[in-house]
Amino acid sequence: MFRSLLLKIVTVSLLSTIGALAAINQLTQISGFGTNPTNVRMYLYRPPNLVANPALIVAMHYCTGTAQAYFTGTQYANRADTYKNFIVLYPHAPDSGGCWDVHTNATFTHNAGGDSLGIASAVRYAIQTYGVDPARVFATGTSSGAMMTNVLAGAYPDLFAAASAFAGVPYACFAGAGMWSNACAGGTLTKTAQQWGDLVRSGYPGYTGPRPRIQIFHGTADTTLSYRNHAEGIKQWTNVFGYSETAAQTQQNSPVSGWTRSIYGPNFQSISAANTPHNIAVQENDVLQWFGLITGPNNPVATTSVPPIVSTTSSSAPVVTPTLPPPTNCASKFAQCGGSGWGGATCCVSGSSCVVMNNWYSQCQ
Ligand SMILES: *[C@@H]1O[C@H](CO)[C@@H](O)[C@H](O)[C@H]1NC(C)=O
């Protein structure tokens, strides 16, 4: 008993030490970043030797969490140190319980208020102040932070290029409740795909531009936010993107042994984490690939010298295939070598061969 408790304490403190020591620089609080009706606090991480026009990741904590806790408990900051191509904003919820406002109509609606507006203001400020590339702004979070990730994807589709949510609930699932919705959390709140999609579309009335690519992760043994929310989220985002609710492709043991990735189309995927409770491990490498910031099998955009796949202007429009000159060289190891719409090299440099990862991405391995 004592021994296992001791082991637990050692494990937890070791984990937080790894996180804290891994980042070279410290978090800095920023203020005066624009309209912030609920007083969301905002913390910035900038790695040494940052590239010009970096990408931006907004990383959001769980209930009772803090910006500092998500900074030390995830690996985004030390990955920023390594790759130097993005900065991280860690918003800090103003609520005394440390949860995000994911229930008011203001937070669900573009520029209408709530915690989401404070975060959107900080993103706009970062674009103006730190030279952030406006085409590469991303949102991610865990639990309440994953709910806010869904909210931002719905209310601010113009600001975010992609999103990744760990153990959250669909956009507007907590609507009308207080800070906590037993119906949504318990998985008894269900809607049709059309209803869920309509809610997202009402987040920014009249908006017709591209929407952020989104991936949602959820543990099948989650007793805090029922796994049924995963199915509701699949209904919601497949409706928004006009995809079938039946996955076009599934990948076993991806990105973790025992987990299953379902791919519905280039803009939406869900990852079911077998036997995993609410406390799901953040998959930073997979997220950074999804955001197109590092190479890997889940990076949906070209990462070599060819231009990225042109995004469509509406969810129902056909995918525009870029026309590229024929390749002159074979792709290098870990570079893309095929996939739907791919116009680059389909051969690999010697020592590696082209492996099909999914319909949209093949890689030299
Ligand atoms: C917020 O209110 C507007 C106007 O009543 C409504 O159209 C919209 O669906 C509401 N949003 C949510 C998420 O309930």
Ligand 1 centre to CA of 172 (Å) is: 9
Rounded-to-10 torsion of CA 141, 145, 149, 152: -140
Instruction: List Cα–Cα distances, 315 to 110, 146, 243, 280, 356, in angstroms.
Output: 19, 22, 9, 30, 26
| Closest to 69 in 3D by CA, of 40, 91, 46 | 91
Ligand 1 atom having least distance to the Cα of 176: 14
Kindly report the average pLDDT of the chain as a whole number.
Answer: 86
pLDDT at 365: 75
User: Quick one: which H or E segment has residue 336?
Assistant: strand 336-338
Among 101, 105, 116, 184, which residue has the most ligand 1 atoms within 8 Å of its CB, making it the best to mutate? 105
CA–CA dist 343, 265 (Å, integer): 19
Query: 71 and 172 share a domain?
Result: yes
Query: 346 and 288 share a domain?
Result: no
Residues 198-214: what's their mean pLDDT?
98
| Closest to 44 in 3D by CA, of 109, 122, 139 | 122
Ligand 1 atom having least distance to the Cα of 108: 13
Q: Using CA positions, which residue lies closest to atom 5 of ligand 1?
A: 105
Q: pLDDT-based confidence at 127, cuts 50/70/90?
A: very high
Q: Is the pLDDT of residue 154 over 50?
A: yes
Rg (the chain; Cα; Å): 20
Q: Using CA positions, which residue lies closest to atom 8 of ligand 1?
A: 202
Residue with more model confidence, 320 or 345: 345
Residues 330-359: what's their mean pLDDT?
68
Query: 213 and 359 share a domain?
Result: no
CATH number for the domain harbouring residue 291: 3.40.50.1820
Query: 219 and 250 share a domain?
Result: yes
Among 109, 152, 194, which residue has the most ligand 1 atoms within 8 Å of its CB, making it the best to mutate? 109
pLDDT at 138: 98
Query: Rounded to 5, what percent of the chain is helix, strand, coil?
Result: 30, 20, 55
User: At 99, which amino acid appears?
Assistant: C
Q: Using CA positions, which residue lies closest to atom 10 of ligand 1?
A: 105
Structure tokens given for 243: 């995809």
Residue with more model confidence, 223 or 338: 223
Using an 8 Å Cβ cutoff, are 307 and 323 in contact? Answer: no
Using an 8 Å Cβ cutoff, are 153 and 171 in contact? Answer: yes
Instruction: List Cα–Cα distances, 293 to 81, 108, 111, 143, in angstroms.
Output: 13, 28, 28, 23
Query: 32 and 130 share a domain?
Result: yes
Ligand 1 centre to CA of 247 (Å) is: 29
Ligand 1 centre to CA of 102 (Å) is: 13
Q: Tens digit of pLDDT for each residue in 1-53?
A: 333 333 333 333 333 334 444 699 999 999 999 999 999 999 999 999 999 99
| Closest to 130 in 3D by CA, of 19, 7, 28, 245 | 28
| Closest to 193 in 3D by CA, of 235, 240, 243, 247 | 235
Query: 210 and 334 share a domain?
Result: no
pLDDT at 172: 98
CA–CA dist 308, 304 (Å, integer): 9
Query: 225 and 362 share a domain?
Result: no
Q: Using CA positions, which residue lies closest to atom 9 of ligand 1?
A: 202
Q: Is the pLDDT of residue 141 over 60?
A: yes
Whole-model pTM over 0.95: no
Q: What percent of the chain has pLDDT over 70?
A: 80
Q: Using CA positions, which residue lies closest to atom 1 of ligand 1?
A: 105
- Structural domain including 139 reads 2-322
pLDDT at 345: 66
For the beta carbon of residue 106, count every other beta carbon within 10 angstroms. 17
CA–CA dist 352, 204 (Å, integer): 46
**Binding pocket residue ranges, ligand 1, CB within 6 Å:** 105, 108-109, 172, 175, 199, 202
Q: Is the pLDDT of residue 221 over 70?
A: yes
Using an 8 Å Cβ cutoff, are 85 and 5 in contact? Answer: no
Q: Is the pLDDT of residue 205 over 50?
A: yes
Query: 270 and 158 share a domain?
Result: yes
**Residue labelled with tokens 């509406």:** 314
Ligand 1 centre to CA of 171 (Å) is: 12
Residue 254 catalytic? no
CA–CA dist 272, 275 (Å, integer): 9
pLDDT at 314: 33
Residues 294-316: what's their mean pLDDT?
55
Residue with more model confidence, 317 or 271: 271
Ligand 1 atom having least distance to the Cα of 154: 13
Query: 243 and 134 share a domain?
Result: yes
Q: What is the number of structural domains in the chain?
A: 2
**Residue labelled with tokens 């076009």:** 248
Q: Catalytic: which of 143, 181, 315, 362?
A: 143
Residues 229-251: what's their mean pLDDT?
98
pLDDT at 344: 64
Using an 8 Å Cβ cutoff, are 354 and 347 in contact? Answer: yes
Q: Using CA positions, which residue lies closest to atom 11 of ligand 1?
A: 105
Query: 197 and 345 share a domain?
Result: no
Q: Is the pLDDT of residue 104 over 60?
A: yes
Query: 341 and 198 share a domain?
Result: no
Ligand 1 centre to CA of 283 (Å) is: 33
Q: Using CA positions, which residue lies closest to atom 6 of ligand 1?
A: 202
Q: pLDDT-based confidence at 81, cuts 50/70/90?
A: very high
Query: 134 and 105 share a domain?
Result: yes
Ligand 1 centre to CA of 202 (Å) is: 6
